[in-house]
Structure 1
Amino acid sequence: MIQPHPSGGYILDELVVGMVAEKLVVVTEERIARFAEASDDFNPVHMDEAFASRTAYRGRIAHGLLSASFGSAVVGTILPGAGAIYLGQTLAFHRPVRIGDTVSARVTVAAIDEAGARVVLRCEAYVGDDLVMDGDATVRVPRRRRPARA
């Protein structure tokens, strides 16, 4: 597991296929409420226990894109980190995430396109040993660091 780069982000030349970064995030009632507000997605399966208890999930579940956003946090803050720009993302959801779950968002460098300054990142999210979400992100990565301003 790598740590955030001291500068805030890795540049293209510092990335190697196989690098892995991870972030643990607890899903709370507050996170779900704030995500619903930010996304304007107030689906009752996320917000209303009485409604959700009558669904196939037998209770409230977190928004799928909330779990996916934890992977985005890894991309933006650890690997590659500051300066990385999302170009695309595929996602598949495998299991629901519930209030109280700790999500482990893991990002692995899968491929590097030096000519295009792009990187393919394998993104996975787990609750315990259960894969809840996965996909691939394509991001543009800076080739060099900008000099610090005086």
Structure 2
Amino acid sequence: MVEPHPSGGYILDELVVGMTAEKRVTVSEERIGHFAEASDDFNPLHMDEAFASKTAYRGRIAHGLLSASFGSAVVGTILPGAGAIYLGQTLNFYKPVRIGEVAAARVTVATIDEAAARVVLRCEIYVGGELVMDGEATVRVPRRRRAPKTP
């Protein structure tokens, strides 16, 4: 597992296929509420226990894109980190994530296209060691760091 780069982000030449980073996030009532506010998605499956208890899920579940956003947090803050620009993302959902569960978002460098400064990242979300979501993100990565501004 890699840690965030001291500069805040890895540049293209520092990336190697197989590099992996992970972030663990507890799915809380508060996070679901904030995500609903930010996305304007107030589906009762996420917000209303009485409604959700009558569905196939037998209770409230987190928004799928809330769980996916934990992978985005890894991409933006750890691997590659600051300066990475999302170009595309695929997602596959296998199981719901529930309030109180800890989601482990794991991102692994799958391929590197040096000519285009693009990287494909394998993104996975686990709960209790079980895969609940996966996909691939394509991101543009900086080739070099900007020199710090001098006063």
Aligning the two structures, in what range does the TM-score lie when normalised by the shorter sequence? Answer: over 0.9
Q: Percent identity?
A: 82
Q: Which residue of 1 aligns with 2:129?
A: 129
1:14 matched to 2:14? yes
Q: Which runs of 5+ in 2 are unaligned?
A: none
Q: CA RMSD in A?
A: 0.3
Q: Which runs of 5+ in 1 are unaligned?
A: none
- What is the DSSP-based 3-state SS (H/G/I as helix, E as strand, rest coil) of the residue aligned with 1:73? helix
Q: Which residue of 1 aligns with 2:55?
A: 55
- What is the DSSP-based 3-state SS (H/G/I as helix, E as strand, rest coil) of the residue aligned with 1:123? strand
Aligned residues, how many? 150
- Taking structure 2 as the reference length, the TM-score comes to 0.99
Structure 1 segment 1-150 matched on structure 2, within 5 A: 1-150=1-150
Q: Give 4+ residue runs of structure 1 displaced > 3 Å after superposition.
A: none
Q: Offset at 1:149? A: 1.2
Counterpart residue identity of residue 138, structure 1: T
Supply the distance in 1 between the matched residues of 2:148 and 2:127 (Cα, whole angstroms): 39
Residue-by-residue CA offset, 1:77-122 (whole Å, 9 max, x unaligned) = 0000000000000000000000000000000000000000000000
Q: Offset at 1:129? A: 1.4
Supply the distance in 1 between the matched residues of 2:75 and 2:38 (Cα, whole angstroms): 20
